[in-house]
């Protein structure tokens, strides 16, 4: 999980789902309609950085490398793990060993066969301390790895580790025959990658465009769209004008563009709009060491005092839903039986009173032991949605006698001087979530020290135990029960006030058919998108 700006959350969804492209062809469309050909042009705000997945941590790079390199496993459109380069796998009863059986006849673009050696080489590289990768953590639990034959990979873990299976995506697949004995951080593959997936690399002009074309050697069905071009347009207003001129086929819209600026004949005639819950949420986190927020009752009171519906309507123009916990409602791990906290000022006031806060000096602001209830909400600069959220919260808190000030700080300084040093009272930030439900790094007490991500300092032994158990449990039903329980505790404890899940709002040209929105987004079946012959726009790029 990582923080991301709202502006690019659409891209994150795209990667998450591009990673895990569906293999089951749902033939709802008559076969004779499906034609090969045409090009899709999409706009991206940021350029890619490095097309070797293990070396990059930005959304654009992963979006592109997701089309070039497949993983051993992937998530299907309903977020279940299915095989990709691995046709099947077994987990030993003690949960310590995973055996992957790889597909045969999968070729790299240059004709070399993909084998277990490539996976082992990838694993050795990612766990090499000299390699600056952000993903080594997942593989630290591995005791050893071996390849009994060309098509089998056996991984032994030190202890059962349920998130392990999902970690064998495309991050860990490298072409051994091109990289062995070389410094991979200086490899030309970073800018000119070799493909194993549905598309192959054609051209990358820095800050301008990245061009991919269908890979004829792809082991699975050839994608219908011949070319994929990503244009880098750093300004979202310009990007929108390019869309309006018909030069772009696909971009992520802001709520304002979605609800107002695309409601006219031109867009109705030429584009389809989609919406689905993004894999992220925004929250207000409290420094639990602060004298204001170390009392659970105060945090509960704030949860009642903040009107989440109002924030969704005001900030996202209704394109989102209020959040009550860390999982989005279409996730299998979302606890449906959780009572939903509602906006209730009276309840909030009563709880604050119980906690000992009262306006004794009649200045309109609550106080206790001569301390005014006045704190600062900190958020990062440049994120307009978070700033607006803070302003709405400020207004509501004033009604129950709490003074909230707002301050924004540039990102790098925000992390270094405030988050890592724990110098804040309350912050508004967001988490991008994976499909894997493990949230150990955010809530476990061991992550509260140093620069760990549990920067609010939340320590709850029950949660700790559940998080550890959740990591060791492979059985999906048992896992669900564990994470349901975690959600109950978080709801009661309110270490964060969960605010909202925003929606991803992509718009795509009408000539592209076969797009199926699902919990994983829209790109899970990207290879199956096609344009009927008579509607094809670009013959050659």
Residues that bind other proteins (CB under 8 A): 1-3, 39, 41, 49-50, 55-58, 61, 129-130, 132-138, 140, 185-186, 190-191, 205-209, 229, 231-235, 237-238, 241-242, 244-245, 247, 411-413, 415-417, 419-420, 440-442, 447, 450-451, 453, 538, 540-541
Structure token digits, residue 39? 């090009």
> What is the sign, positive or negative, of the torsion defined by CA atoms of 506, 508, 8, 387?
negative
Cβ-based nearer residue to other proteins, 190 or 515 = 190
25/266 with CB nearer other proteins: 266
Q: Are 382 and 411 in contact (CB under 8 A)?
A: yes
Residue 122 vs 401, nearer CB to other proteins: 122
Q: What is the CA radius of gyration of the chain?
A: 25
As measured in angstroms, the least distance from the Cβ of 306 to other proteins is: 24
Angstrom CA distances, 450 to 59, 290, 409, 447, stand at 27, 18, 21, 8
CB of 11 to other proteins, least distance (A): 16
The partner residues of 227 in beta bridges, in order of sequence, read 39, 213
Beta carbon nearer to other proteins, 266 or 371: 266
Nearer to other proteins, 2 or 297 (CB): 2
Reference 66, options 111, 16, 106; nearest CA is 16
- Count of all residues that appear for the chain in the document: 541
Pick the closer one to other proteins by CB: 54 or 298: 54
Residue with tokens 């991919």: 212
Q: Cβ of residue 191: shortest distance to other proteins, in angstroms?
A: 7
The Cβ of residue 214 has, within 10 Å, a number of other Cβ atoms equal to: 18
In angstroms, give the least distance from the CB of 136 to other proteins: 6
Smallest distance from other proteins to CB 264, Å: 12
Residue number with CB closer to other proteins (42 or 400)? 42
Question: Please, which residues have CB within 8 angstroms of residue 271's CB and are 6 or more apart in sequence?
Answer: 243, 262, 507, 508, 509, 510
Smallest distance, other proteins to C-beta of residue 95, A: 21
Quote the least distance from Cβ 538 to other proteins, whole Å. Answer: 6
**Alpha carbons 237 and 529: distance in angstroms, whole number:** 27
Cα dist from 225 to 107, 425, 511, whole Å: 20, 51, 12
Q: For the purposes of burial, counting CB atoms within 10 Å of the CB of 413, is it exposed (0-12), middle (13-18) or buried (19 or more)?
A: exposed
Cβ(46)–Cβ(237) below 8 Å? no
CB of 13 to other proteins, least distance (A): 18
Closest to other proteins by CB, 292 vs 418, is 418
Q: How many whole angstroms separate alpha carbon 393 and alpha carbon 216?
A: 54
Positive or negative, the Cα torsion across 268, 272, 276, 281?
negative
Query: Distance between CA 387 and CA 219 in Å, rounded?
Result: 48
- Give whichever of 162 and 312 is closer to other proteins, judged by the CB atom: 162
Please tell me the distance from the alpha carbon of residue 10 to that of residue 521, in angstroms, as a whole number.
9
* Complex with other proteins: residue 452 or 532, whichever CB lies closer: 452
Q: Which is nearer to other proteins, 391 or 446 (CB)?
A: 446
Minimum CB separation from other proteins for residue 336, in Å? Answer: 27
Q: 276 or 283, CB closer to other proteins?
A: 283
Contact call for residues 494 and 297 (beta carbons, < 8 A): no
Q: How many CB atoms lie within 10 A of CB 96?
A: 15
Which distant-in-sequence residues (6+ apart) come within 8 Å of 349 by Cβ? Answer: 301, 400, 401
What is the Cα–Cα distance from 357 to 349, expressed in whole angstroms?
9
Q: Which alpha helices (H) appear in 58-198, and where do they start and end?
A: 59-68, 116-126, 164-167, 176-179
Token pair recorded at residue 438: 């493990």
Q: How far is the CB of 221 from other proteins (least distance, A)?
A: 26
Nearer to other proteins, 43 or 255 (CB): 43
Between 109 and 438, name the residue whose CB sits nearer to other proteins. Answer: 438
CB of 417 to other proteins, least distance (A): 5
Task: Report the nearest approach of other proteins to the CB of residue 7 (Å).
Answer: 13
- Interior CA angle at 333 toward 289 and 487, to 5°? 30
Task: Tell me which H or E stretch contains 321.
Answer: strand 320-322
Least separation in angstroms between residue 26's CB and other proteins is: 32
> Please, where are the H alpha helices in 376-518?
384-399, 411-413, 440-443, 461-472, 476-493
Element (H, E) at 353: helix 345-354
């Amino acid at each position: 999980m990582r923080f991301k700006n709202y502006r690019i959350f659409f891209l994150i969804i795209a990667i998450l789902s591009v990673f895990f492209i569906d293999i089951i062809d749902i033939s709802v469309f008559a076969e004779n309609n499906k034609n090969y050909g045409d090009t899709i042009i999409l706009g991206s705000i940021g350029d890619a950085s490095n097309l070797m997945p293990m070396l990059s941590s930005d959304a654009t790079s992963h979006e592109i490398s997701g089309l070039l390199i497949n993983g051993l496993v992937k998530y299907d459109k309903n977020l279940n793990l299915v095989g990709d380069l691995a046709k099947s796998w077994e987990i030993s009863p003690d949960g310590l060993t995973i055996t992957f059986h790889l597909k045969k006849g999968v070729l790299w673009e240059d004709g070399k066969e993909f084998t277990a050696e490539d996976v082992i080489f990838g694993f050795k590289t990612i766990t090499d301390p000299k390699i600056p990768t952000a993903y080594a953590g997942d593989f630290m639990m591995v005791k050893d790895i071996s390849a009994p034959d060309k098509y089998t990979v056996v991984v032994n873990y030190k202890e059962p580790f349920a998130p392990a299976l999902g970690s064998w995506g495309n991050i860990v697949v490298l072409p051994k025959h091109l990289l062995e004995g070389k410094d991979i951080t200086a490899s030309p593959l970073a800018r000119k990658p070799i493909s194993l997936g549905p598309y192959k690399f054609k051209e990358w002009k820095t800050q301008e465009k990245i061009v991919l074309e269908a890979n004829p050697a792809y082991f699975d069905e050839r994608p219908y769209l011949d070319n994929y071009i990503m244009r880098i347009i750093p300004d979202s207003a310009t990007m929108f004008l390019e869309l309006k001129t018909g030069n772009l086929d696909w971009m992520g819209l802001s709520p304002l563009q979605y609800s107002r600026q695309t409601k006219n004949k031109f867009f109705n005639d030429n584009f389809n709009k989609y919406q689905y819950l993004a894999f992220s949420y925004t929250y207000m986190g409290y420094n639990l060491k602060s004298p204001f927020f170390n009392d659970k009752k105060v945090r509960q009171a704030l949860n009642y005092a903040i009107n989440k519906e109002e924030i969704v309507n005001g900030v996202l123009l209704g394109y989102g839903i209020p959040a009550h916990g860390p999982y989005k409602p279409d996730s299998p791990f979302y606890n449906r039986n959780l009572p939903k906290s509602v906006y209730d000022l009276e309840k909030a006031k009563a709880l604050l009173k119980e906690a000992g806060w009262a306006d004794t000096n009649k200045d309109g602001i609550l106080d206790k032991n001569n301390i005014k209830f006045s704190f600062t909400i900190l958020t990062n600069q440049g994120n307009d949605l978070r700033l607006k959220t803070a302003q709405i919260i400020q207004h509501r808190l004033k009604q129950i006698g709490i003074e909230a000030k707002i301050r924004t700080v540039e990102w790098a300084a925000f992390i270094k001087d405030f988050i890592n040093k724990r110098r804040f009272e309350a912050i508004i930030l967001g988490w991008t979530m994976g499909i894997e439900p493990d949230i150990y790094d955010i809530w476990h007490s061991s992550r509260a020290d140093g620069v760990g991500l549990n920067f609010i300092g939340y320590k709850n032994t029950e949660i700790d135990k559940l998080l550890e158990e959740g990591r060791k449990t492979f059985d999906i039903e048992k896992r669900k029960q564990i994470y349901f329980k975690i959600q109950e505790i978080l709801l009661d404890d309110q270490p964060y006030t969960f605010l909202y899940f925003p929606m991803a709002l992509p718009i795509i040209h009408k000539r592209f058919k076969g797009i199926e929105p699902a919990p994983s987004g829209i790109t899970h079946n990207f290879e199956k998108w096609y344009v009927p012959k008579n509607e094809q726009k670009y013959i050659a790029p």
